[in-house]
Amino acid sequence: MAEIRVENLRKSFDQFTAVERSNFTVPDGSFFAMLGPSGCGKTTTLRMIAGLELPTDGQVLLDGEDVTFRRAAARDIAFVFQLFALYPHMNVAGNIGFPLKCQGMRRREIHERVAETARLLRIEHLLSSKVSKLSGGDRQRVALGRAMVRRPKAFLMDEPLGALDAEFRHLMCSELRDLHDRINATTIYVTHDQLEAMSMADTIAVMNSGRIEQIGSPQQIYDRPASMFVADFIGSPPMNFLKFESGLRAGERSVSFRDLTLAVPEVREERAPGPLVLGVRPEHIRLSNSAPVRGRVFGAEYLGTTQIVTVDTAYGRVAARLPSSLSVQIGESVGLSFRSERLVLFDAASGSAIRTANFGDAGHG
Ligand code: ATP
C-alpha cells in the first residue's frame, strides 16, 4: 500500500480556480475523506491524484515519488465511481476478473484472485449471477471487487454510494469501513455527505470553494471547527451562532452585550476587539429559568429519545437538542444556558475560530 501526499496542488480552468493550493498527506493504510458542498473542488482534486487531470501547479507524491506527470494507468491507483459501469453481458466473476484478463494473466490465477476478492467482499455466492439481476448494493460490491482485484496501491472513491438509497448507504458505509480495516488499503473518499465522512474516515478534509478549510479527525472537526463554515456544514442541526458586537481581547473570559454578560472560555490569542460570534452545538444547551439568554419557543421536532426545540432569542433563532421527556409549549418563554467549556468563539469578520483555553491550538488551522 502507499502514502499519498499532495503539495501546493492547484487547478485552474481558464480564469476560474477550481482548487486552491492544497497540502495534505494520507498515511499508508489510512481512510481519508474529502468533504464539502457540490462544486467545492473535491472531484478535481481526486482526478489530479488519479492522473486523470493535469494540475496547473503543485505535485502529487506516491510513497514519496513524484507521479504528477505519470499517466493514470501507470500510477497503480484504483478509481471507484458513483456510477458502477459494469459489463451487463458478463456474470459477476467475469466483471471482477476483467482487469486481470486485460493484463493477460493466466486463467487459473484469475480464478484464484477473483475467489479471494469475492470472499473479502462476502459475495462468493453471487459469482455466477448476471450483474443485471443484482441489487444496487451488490453492484457496488462488484464494482469495488473489480477495483480491488488488481491489488492497487490505493483506492480513490468518488461518491461511490451516491446512487444508493439512504438506508442502504448507511449499511454500505459500515461494510466499506470493515473492508478497509481488513485490507488496510490507503483510501481517499470524496463525499458531500457528512454522515458518510464522519462514520468512516480517520481524517477528514473539509473543502469550501476550492480551499481546504480544516483537516482533522471527525471529533476534532465536530468539536473544534476551525471556521464558521465547518461549524455550519457539520452537525444536524448545525452549530448555533450568536453574534456579539463587543469584542474580546486575549485573557478575557466573559462577553457582554446589551444587559447580558456571558462567561466564555479564556481567549488565548492576541486580537483586535472586533465583533465575535459565539458557537454552541444544540446538545450543549439546557433550559434553565435563571439563564440570562431568554427567548420564546418557536417549534419542537420530536426525534424519539431527543427533540429539537427552536427558540427565538435577541441573538437569533437557536436550536437545542433536549430530552423528549421534557415538556415545552410553543410560545413559552424559556431561559437557555450553555455549557461554557464547549463554546467555540469565532471572529465575525473572518469567520475563523479564535484560540481559546478550552481547545488550545489543536484542530485549528
Ligand atoms: P460535485 O460533488 O458536484 O462533483 P465537487 O466538489 O467534486 O462537486 P468539482 O467537480 O471538483 O467539484 O468542480 C469544482 C469546480 O470546477 C466546479 O465549479 C466545476 O464546475 C468546475 N470544473 C470542473 N471541471 C471543469 C472543467 N473541465 N472545465 C471547467 N470547469 C470545471
The residue-averaged pLDDT of 195-208 equals: 96
Residue 229: what pLDDT? Answer: 98
Best residue for ligand 1 mutational test, from 9, 12, 13, 196 (most atoms within 8 Å of Cβ): 13
Residue 320: what pLDDT? Answer: 97
The residue-averaged pLDDT of 12-41 equals: 96
The residue-averaged pLDDT of 328-338 equals: 95
Residue 39 Cβ contacting ligand 1 at under 6 Å: yes
> What spacing in Å lies between the alpha carbon of 83 and ligand 1's midpoint?
17
Residue 364: what pLDDT? Answer: 42
For atom 30 of ligand 1, which residue has the closest CA?
Answer: 13
Question: Which residues does residue 272 pair with via DSSP β-bridges, in sequence order?
Answer: none
Atom of ligand 1 nearest to the CA of 210: 14
Say how far apart CA 324 and CA 226 lie, in whole Å.
31
Q: Which of 9, 4, 130 is nearest to 58 (CA)?
A: 9
Residue 113 Cβ contacting ligand 1 at under 6 Å: no
> What spacing in Å lies between the alpha carbon of 79 and ligand 1's midpoint?
17
Residue 37 Cβ contacting ligand 1 at under 6 Å: no
- Percentage of the chain lying above the pLDDT 90 cut: 63
Residue 236 Cβ contacting ligand 1 at under 6 Å: no
The residue-averaged pLDDT of 99-111 equals: 93
Residue 38 Cβ contacting ligand 1 at under 6 Å: yes
Residue 252 has pLDDT above 80, yes or no: no
Q: Which of 103, 101, 104 is nearest to 114 (CA)?
A: 101
Say how far apart CA 7 and CA 43 lie, in whole Å.
17
Is 352 in contact with 225 (CB distance < 8 Å)? no
**What length is written for the chain?**
365
Say how far apart CA 317 and CA 312 lie, in whole Å.
4
Lowest mean pLDDT among 52-61, 164-173, 219-228, 271-280: 164-173
> What spacing in Å lies between the alpha carbon of 44 and ligand 1's midpoint?
6
Q: Enter the C-alpha cell of residue 19.
A: 482548487
> What spacing in Å lies between the alpha carbon of 61 and ligand 1's midpoint?
23
Is 305 in contact with 288 (CB distance < 8 Å)? no
Q: Letter for the amino acid at 290? A: S
Those residues with Cβ within 8 angstroms of residue 305's Cβ, 6 or more apart along the chain or in another chain: 323, 324
- What does the pLDDT look like over 34-49, one tens digit per residue? 999 999 999 999 999 9
Residue 1: what pLDDT? Answer: 65
For the domain spanning 4-223, the CATH number is 3.40.50.300
Residue 44 Cβ contacting ligand 1 at under 6 Å: yes
Residue 265: what pLDDT? Answer: 85
Domain with CATH 2.40.50.140 in the chain: 228-355
Say how far apart CA 320 and CA 303 lie, in whole Å.
12
Residue 363 has pLDDT above 50, yes or no: no
Is 220 in contact with 232 (CB distance < 8 Å)? no
For atom 25 of ligand 1, which residue has the closest CA?
Answer: 13
Residue 76: what pLDDT? Answer: 86
For atom 28 of ligand 1, which residue has the closest CA?
Answer: 13
Domain with CATH 3.40.50.300 in the chain: 4-223
Q: Enter the C-alpha cell of residue 3.
A: 502514502
- What does the pLDDT look like over 282-331, one tens digit per residue? 999 999 988 888 999 999 999 999 999 999 998 889 999 999 999 999 99
Q: Which of 122, 130, 129 is nearest to 148 (CA)?
A: 122
For the domain spanning 228-355, the CATH number is 2.40.50.140
Distances (CA, A) of 136 to 73, 196, 200: 27, 17, 20
> pTM of the entire structure?
0.89
Residue 42 Cβ contacting ligand 1 at under 6 Å: yes
The residue-averaged pLDDT of 216-229 equals: 96
